[in-house]
Amino acid sequence: MASIKLAIVGAGPSSFYVASRLLSLLPQSSPHHDAIKIHMYDRLWAPHGLVRYGVAPDHPEVKNCTNKFDLTATDPRLRFFGNVNITTSASASPIAHNVSLPSSSLLHNYTHLLFSSGCTIPTLHAALPPSDRCIPALSLVHWYTQHPSVANKPPPPLESIEHVSLIGQGNVSLDVARMLLTPPSTLEKYDVPSNVLDVLKRSAVQHVSIIGRRGPLQAAFTTKELREMMNLEDAAMDPLDPTLLIPPAGEELTRQQKRTVQLLEKGSRNAPGTKPKSWSLDFFRSPTHLAPAPEDDQSAARPLTLTLAHTALSAEKRAVPTGATSSLRTSMVVTSLGHHGEPTPWYDSALGHVRTVGGRVVDEHGHTLRNVYASGWAAMGARGVLASTMMDAYAVADTILADAFPGEFRKDGNALESVVPQGRVSDAAEPVMAETVGSDEPPVEVQAGLNEGEVTDYEHWKLVDAEEVKRGVAIGKERERMGWDEARTFLSQAKGRR
């Protein structure tokens, strides 16, 4: 039996980067080559997490990392199990067709555990309770990427919405705005499901307001995303007050801030008023209230009034109210304020993610848990790009091997030391994982799901992947996605043809 039987919860980029690092550092020439087995679980039936279900469809280059993931998945020491929800409580999975696997089964069937499940819950705004007209940006992202959690939900009523107010000025806000303002004829060559394109073709959206509580020098979007907004073919940016772009006296701007100011000074390639659609960056505004439509007007087109407090920066660069307010007539409010993780036994609500030190999970008393780790957003919170995710994942993989083979594992000729953080001793905590396991196979629930076609493996995914690309090529686009029901039927028929 393998001395490391690792269960990874999540199958997004961080998970694959950890697996890739572990397997590459234990090559065929290593005495520990056969000492590791990795089982990767995800409640999504397809792998790659945010790369498939979060990256904007018109950013196909970001998805190139899946080529590396495909290569990693060819190693027989790694197995992927999709459509499996790891349950830690009696709460139901957000995906109805999931196979449930109790977390206790992982503790009994594996010697090591890695949480790499990301941050899947959107952070809401206290003044903007969710409703059918006030939704998190994640709902729209899940809709236009055909996320399994929205399979049976109606699409957004874009045919009745003229004005959208986005709260938050990060890249996700700009992604959503770009999807709403880009002509469907431009989007149709990308990985946009046909049913999503049909809704976008009926869209009545004319303006998108992108609202932030601080100024242009503090905005979270990147210059790349801003430049894409500036270059929209059928939309123009509303002009900014030039005084907003004057840096405070004595303040040295970063390279990105300088580029942001230059782009904003130049403005969009289309002059204001020359195109049918428009967008605006509304700086120094913070929502305080959303007035619903009158009771006698409950149509999808009913107007809303969004009240905004005017803000200014404090000496600490915090947004503070000035006392002034204004109102904005809008059709829908979309909040894009970040994300946090789902509660797990070692989730810290104050942090919004799993408690870790150096990649090792710690309990509420600060004791390091033996052979329990976390990586990516599950360990750091929802921040960073793929490059930072990769570097973090590699560091966690190194820690796993250093803990497993203390004093003997070598990398580049240098010993990796397993160092428990000062004041925290792993042996002080109750062991949570099995010391040894009797089989390299997955738990019986997972094996049963595989036999019944309810659990997918990577071979299944590659069959679906190839078919999606084939269908897309036939209609002149990147791919045509399948939902779970269609994928399951396709896989059943493919199995019957063998």
3-state secondary structure 356-395: EECCEEECCCCCEEEEEEECCHHHHCCCCCHHHHHHHHHH
Nearest to 475 by CA among 142, 67, 193: 193
pLDDT value of position 295:
63
> pLDDT of the chain along its 498 residues, tens only?
579 999 999 999 999 999 999 999 999 999 999 999 999 999 999 999 999 999 999 999 999 999 999 999 999 999 999 999 998 765 567 899 999 999 999 999 999 999 999 999 999 999 999 998 999 999 999 999 999 999 889 999 999 999 999 999 999 999 999 999 999 999 999 999 999 999 999 999 999 999 999 999 999 999 999 999 999 999 999 999 999 999 988 889 999 999 999 999 999 999 999 999 999 999 999 999 999 766 655 555 678 999 999 999 998 999 999 999 999 999 999 999 999 998 878 888 888 999 999 999 998 888 899 999 999 999 999 988 899 999 999 999 999 999 998 877 654 444 454 444 433 334 545 578 999 998 999 999 999 999 999 999 999 999 999 999 999 999 999 999 999 999 999 999 987 665
Give residue limits of the domains in the chain. 4-120+340-456, 124-285
Q: Is 345 helix (H, G, I), strand (E, B) or coil?
A: coil
14 carries a ligand binding annotation: yes
pLDDT value of position 364:
86
85 carries a ligand binding annotation: no
171 carries a ligand binding annotation: yes
328 carries a ligand binding annotation: no
User: How far is residue 418's CA from residue 402's CA, in Å, rounded to a whole number?
Assistant: 5
pLDDT value of position 1:
58
Q: Is 262 exposed, middle or buried (0-12, 13-18, 19+ CB in 10 A)?
A: exposed
- Say if CB 108 and CB 101 are below 8 A apart: no
User: How far is residue 26's CA from residue 479's CA, in Å, rounded to a whole number?
Assistant: 35
pLDDT value of position 383:
87
Nearest to 461 by CA among 6, 7, 11: 11
Decide if domain 124-285 falls under CATH 3.40.50.720.
no
The 8-class DSSP code of residue 235 comes to E
User: How far is residue 23's CA from residue 36's CA, in Å, rounded to a whole number?
Assistant: 8
28 carries a ligand binding annotation: no
Q: Is 139 helix (H, G, I), strand (E, B) or coil?
A: helix
- Say if CB 236 and CB 273 are below 8 A apart: yes
Nearest to 335 by CA among 124, 140, 50, 56: 124
User: How far is residue 411's CA from residue 388's CA, in Å, rounded to a whole number?
Assistant: 21
pLDDT value of position 426:
46
User: How far is residue 498's CA from residue 493's CA, in Å, rounded to a whole number?
Assistant: 9
Residues composing the chain: 498
187 carries a ligand binding annotation: no
332-335 and 134-136 as β-strands: parallel, antiparallel, unpaired?
A: parallel
Phi and psi at residue 266, to the nearest 5°: -70, -35
- Say if CB 468 and CB 142 are below 8 A apart: no
25 carries a ligand binding annotation: no
Annotate 42-81 with b (16+ C-beta within 10 A) or e (fewer): bbbbbbbbbbbbbbbbbbeeeeebbeebbebbebebbbbb
For the chain, counts of helices (H) and of strands (E): 15, 24
231 carries a ligand binding annotation: no
64 carries a ligand binding annotation: no
State the fold for domain 4-120+340-456: Rossmann fold (3.40.50)
Beta-strand ranges (E) seen in 247-355 are 277-282, 285-291, 304-313, 319-330, 332-335, 339-340, 347-348, 353-354
Amino acid present at 394: Y
pLDDT value of position 239:
95
- Say if CB 334 and CB 140 are below 8 A apart: yes
User: How far is residue 212's CA from residue 166's CA, in Å, rounded to a whole number?
Assistant: 9
pLDDT value of position 451:
95
| Torsion sign, CA atoms 184, 189, 190, 192 | positive
86 carries a ligand binding annotation: yes
